[in-house]
Amino acid sequence: AVVVAGWLVEAKQSVVENIAPVLTRLFTPLFTAALLAFLVALGLTSAGIDVERKALILFDLLLVVVLGLLLYSISARDPLAPPGLFDKLQLALVVSALVIDMLVLLEITGRITEYGTTPNKAAALGENAILLANLAWSAWLVLGLVRRHTPFAALERWQTAYLPVYAAWAWIVVLIFPPLFNYL
């Protein structure tokens, strides 16, 4: 079974390597358009994000998908290629996700202020703060890449170095939250 699994991974590796860039090129423009349309609608209505808890969870999932698209594009990009239109599209995607993350953070903070802290709210607040830091620095690096001031390797290093932050937050939620919120 191990030999067959190894063979399958080796045989199908090129399929995964070829499909990831295609999916990234397909979904990045769609997600960018959707996020920008949402922000424009939000600006026109000036209502803010006053939504139910389930919608906030969906926003968090959306932000994770944006981060996934960014990671896929980084892994699929030729490090020596000059910046192009897709890099500008990536910048628009990351900046729009950054703005949405700030709005979600404001909403979560408002809910904590109004209703108090719960484990779910604290976990969501931490996750969004971590996403905010990652998206903010990623936006800065992609802007530098587009303006030809920052090498592509800096963006790769940043994303690689930031992955342990997500792992640390997951460990905090799993190990510290139960005693902190009396769930032992």
Per-residue pLDDT reduced to its tens digit, 139-167: 999 999 999 999 999 999 999 999 999 99
**Predicted local distance difference test score (pLDDT) of residue 62:** 93
91 burial type by CB count under 10 A (0-12 exposed, 13-18 middle, 19+ buried): buried
Q: Find the mean pLDDT for residues 156-181.
A: 95
The answer to whether 49 and 106 are in contact (CB under 8 A) is yes
Q: Confidence band (pLDDT; 50, 70, 90) for 46?
A: confident
Instruction: Write out the two tokens for 86.
Output: 């897709």
**Predicted local distance difference test score (pLDDT) of residue 14:** 63
